[in-house]
Amino acid sequence: MTSVFRDEHWIGGAFVPPDSGDRIEVENPYTEEVFGHVPAGTAEDVNLAVSAAHQALAGWAALTPAERGTALDRLHRALLARADEIARIVGLELGTPLKIAKVVQAGLPLTVLAGYAELAAHPPADEVIGNSLVVREPVGVVGAITPWNYPLHQVVAKVGAALAAGNTVVLKPSELTPLTAYLLADAVAEAGLPPGVFNLVAGTGPVVGSAIAGHPDVDMVSFTGSTATGRAISHAAADRIAKVSLELGGKSANLILDDADLVKAVKVGVGNAFLNSGQTCTAWTRMLVHRSHYDDAVELAAKTAAGYPLGDPFDPATRLGPLASAGQRARVRGFIERASARLVAGGLDAPVPSTGHFVAPTVFADVDPDSEIAQEEIFGPVLSIIPFGDDDEAVAIANNSKYGLAGAVWGSSERALAVARRLRTGAVDVNGGSFNPFAPFGGYKQSGIGRELGAYGLAEFSQVKAIQR
Ligand code: NAD
């Protein structure tokens, strides 16, 4: 069995021993065996990391765009050399099937980082407004706190942008999947980034996360995770009026209009809902279907879901791996147990592999739009299908959510675009438009505040200053 033991934090340009000897064990969610550990960091470790980031700030911020671009390009190359290892470690600590992990867990963040190396070298020009010169400056020391579902992408979306904009960073990755982030620290070491520009402190949310969120010398907290934790982080940062950006949960709707390509819309829709075993914040977990082809859609969705092979993430035939933890599995099963809609695929009694935190891909039809499974983020392979009569009703059901992160519309192009404009959500894919890693990413309502990725992500990690002449 592969073992991965990390006994230090990355602080001030070196792997340093932790303040305490306590450790966090890392479990393989397929074998259910512990295969690694990281230090359980303390507030003292955070103090050290924030101090290193503070010391590094002036020097890093003063580099020319070309110099910062070159440094990030070196980082990208060092990370690229680890692409296979990234996919393997994500497969081990999260259970994403290797084939999928190579593309979304390794390939995507590498693309994002390459984009930030380019943006660092060629940042948006200063703006002239009348007699003012408007310039962008770094915010300062950024605390980055990330979840487990895309262990490198969520990290790079913050770290790449923050560093490109001239900030320095203290990262706390999820305690469930901390090992992938260590590969970024290895790449930082190899790339020779100046000491203190990037720091990694492993640990739990309540200890290390809250120490970062509440630290007086952290100028901005960038968080991705649950809405409940985002709220706690906002409260901590509010005491010192620190900038906060939040990427939170979602309950996105997939609207299939009466003139949609039904087969494509349903198949892609089911695939989207179950990507990463449904542990995707943008997952289209509500499928809204026009009554004229509702029955066909339900039948096709059920058949598609039932055909997904579950199994060992390292078996090329596997499409869905286990959920990330026993706790997550129990949570998802609770939603299924309490649901009162018509079960058409999966469910609690459907067969799953004998080891691993599996939940069978589950589809409910005739779901009440106000019910728990239509309103709460489940974060597992559970799809709710809801009928509608016309576009207005579809939009009303889609917008009947406390979240507003993503969504989709299928139908003739002008009409689908018109419906897309009416959705209260940060992103909408029309007729299968693919994910764009350089377009702004973020949520309306309780899905978050701020935007990541591309030039909008760079702006999020910048201050603007008006100089009058
Ligand atoms: P989580 O909120 O439990 O944890 C996220 C991070 O916050 C972890 O690193 C955790 O250790 C830390 N944390 C926990 N309590 C904290 C506290 N009191 N103070 C500071 N930090 C604390 O979320 P999760 O279970 O890891 O991830 C799943 C959630 O993330 C889902 O709700 C999902 O929708 C959301 N998510 C959102 C996006 C997005 O971009 N909008 C992307 C991925 C995941």
Task: Give tens-digit pLDDT for 367-393.
Answer: 999 999 999 999 999 999 999 999 999
Cα–Cα distance list, 320 to 104, 314, 343 (Å): 14, 11, 20
Residue 205 has what pLDDT?
A: 98
Active site residue 281: yes
pLDDT (tens digit per residue) in 298-331: 999 999 999 999 999 999 999 999 999 999 999 9
Residue of 273, 279, 264 whose CA lies nearest to 358 = 279
Check pLDDT > 90 for residue 425. Answer: yes
Separation of 101 CA from ligand 1 center, angstroms?
20
Share of the chain above pLDDT 90, in %: 100
Residue 343 has what pLDDT?
A: 98
Residue nearest to atom 32 of ligand 1 (CA): 226
Check pLDDT > 90 for residue 1. Answer: no
Cα–Cα distance list, 464 to 54, 65, 136, 460 (Å): 20, 17, 5, 10
Residue 34 has what pLDDT?
A: 98
Separation of 173 CA from ligand 1 center, angstroms?
10
| First and final C-alpha spacing in the chain | 66
Residue 159 has what pLDDT?
A: 98
Average of pLDDT values for 435-455?
A: 97
Separation of 449 CA from ligand 1 center, angstroms?
14
Averaged confidence pLDDT in the chain: 98
Separation of 197 CA from ligand 1 center, angstroms?
24
Residues lining ligand 1, Cβ inside 6 A? 145-149, 154, 172, 174-175, 204-206, 209-210, 213, 224-226, 229, 232-233, 247-250, 281, 377, 379, 405, 443, 447-448
Q: Answer yes or no: are the C-beta atoms of 157 and 235 closer than 8 Å.
A: no
pLDDT (tens digit per residue) in 21-68: 999 999 999 999 999 999 999 999 999 999 999 999 999 999 999 999
Residue of 434, 49, 397, 395 whose CA lies nearest to 217 = 49
pLDDT (tens digit per residue) in 236-257: 999 999 999 999 999 999 999 9
Tokens representing 252 are: 């996105």
Mutate to test the pocket of ligand 1, among 96, 229, 453 (most ligand atoms within 8 A of CB): 229
* Ligand 1 atom at minimal distance to the Cα of residue 150: 43
2: confidence class by pLDDT, cuts 50, 70, 90: confident
Candidate list 93, 281, 452, 460, residue with the active-site label: 281
pLDDT (tens digit per residue) in 209-230: 999 999 999 999 999 999 999 9
Separation of 376 CA from ligand 1 center, angstroms?
15
Average of pLDDT values for 403-422?
A: 98
pLDDT (tens digit per residue) in 457-468: 999 999 999 999
Residue 190 has what pLDDT?
A: 98
